[in-house]
Amino acid sequence: MVSAIIHEVAHGWVALRCGDTTARDAGRLTLDPRAHLDGFGSVALPLIMAIVGGPVFAFAKPVPYNPNRLAHPRRDELLVALAGPASNLLQALAGTALVALAWDWGVPAVSSGAMAPVAFSWVLRILTTYVSVNLVLCFFNLIPLPPLDGSKAVLFFLMGEARRKYYELQQYAMVLLIVALYVLPTFLGVDPLGAYLDATAGSLFGLLMGLVG
């Protein structure tokens, strides 16, 4: 949820830089969790998914913005959309740097007895999970399916009838996500979303951890 909150603040901050004060006026340019957590998406949904089994994801309340108040609406809407995934990528890189620092400091500390191996293991586990979660958030949100951020990137290249058709797809977005997350893997043994995240977030995670090691 820390990563998701920063993701949403990034949307609002870029919108503000592009001329739209909606997020700022709504009090959403803050890291205070109370301004961002959603009772269903941040708590109930991930608990239900964990109980049912399978993929677990959560979301914070989307930051509001008004595209009509952007200085250059078509371009700036794309920048606002990509700000969220970009913030997760930056968090993953920052987390990787912390993993490297923890490794350089922790290995000698464990060897000298100044730090318990179990404590060192938990520090690494927390930091590597932070990196992994941010990479998954980055690439998951880049999926070109409304209302995910990737859909705004697609809209940037669509005009006229094609753009209208793509807007119509929004009403089926949640159904398509449920099918990709649960129906295909459970009943058909096909997991396109998992394969995509393995090829993107998983591969980049392996590369970053390889650089640390």
Other Cβ atoms closer than 10 A to 178: 11
Maximum C-alpha span of the chain: 68
Catalytic residues: 8
Q: What is the CA radius of gyration of the chain?
A: 19
pLDDT at 54: 63
User: What residues in the chain have per-residue pLDDT under 70?
Assistant: 54-55
pTM: 0.88
What total of structural domains would you count in the chain?
A: 1
**pLDDT tens digits, residue range 38-75?**
888 888 878 887 887 766 777 788 899 898 999 998 89
pLDDT at 137: 94
Percent of the chain with pLDDT over 70: 99
State which residues form the domain around 103: 2-212
Cβ burial of 211 (10 Å; 0-12, 13-18, 19+) is exposed
